């Protein structure tokens, strides 16, 4: 059981970091929509066009690390194994 939880914690952290990295390694806050700037040909005004896109940020890493840490913490709870052995 301990091994399973340790493995789960490692997988959660790895998926979390890989998702963050391959989604653009955004060093800011998580974004749920992104603005792309375009230029109006007649007026020359630069304007944003929004699209819904999930871009994980540092808070996403923090969430993944917290979940991973909790799972790892459970793996080392003494009661979990004392119940098993009894």
Partner 1 sequence: MKPYIALLAAALIVSNSLAETSTFDFKDPKGVNNVTFTLDAPLESISGTTNGISGTITLDPENPTEVTGKIIVDAKSLRVPNAVMQDHMLGDGWLDTEAHPEISFEVSEILNRQKDGPSGTAEVTGVFSLKGISKKITAPVKVTYLPGRLADRTGGSTEGDLLVVRTTFTFSRSEFGIKPGENLDKVSDTVTVSLAIAGAAPKN
Contact residues for partner 1 (CB under 8 A)?
27-35, 40, 42-48, 50, 55, 58
Question: At closest approach, how far in Å is the CB of 50 from partner 1?
Answer: 6
Gap between the Cα atoms of 17 and 10, Å rounded: 11
Q: How far is the CB of 80 from partner 1 (least distance, A)?
A: 34
- Cβ proximity to partner 1: between 44 and 78 the closer is 44
5 vs 34, beta carbon nearer partner 1: 34
**What single DSSP character describes residue 43?**
T
- The span from the CA of 15 to the CA of 7, in Å, is 12
Please identify, using beta-carbon distances, which residue of 45 and 79 lies nearer to partner 1.
45
Query: Where are the alpha helices (H) located in 1-86, listed in sequence order?
Result: 2-22, 58-75, 78-85
Distance of alpha carbon 67 from alpha carbon 71, whole angstroms: 6
**Residue 55 Cβ vs partner 1, minimum distance, rounded to whole Å:** 8
């Amino acid at each position: 059981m301990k091994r399973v939880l340790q493995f789960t914690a490692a997988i959660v952290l790895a998926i979390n970091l890989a998702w963050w990295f391959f989604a653009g390694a955004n060093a800011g806050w998580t974004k749920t929509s992104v603005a792309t700037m375009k230029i109006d040909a007649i007026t020359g005004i630069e304007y944003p066009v929004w699209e819904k896109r999930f871009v994980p940020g540092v808070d996403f890493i923090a969430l993944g690390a917290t979940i991973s840490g909790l799972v790892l913490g459970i793996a080392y709870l003494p009661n979990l194994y004392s119940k098993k052995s009894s």
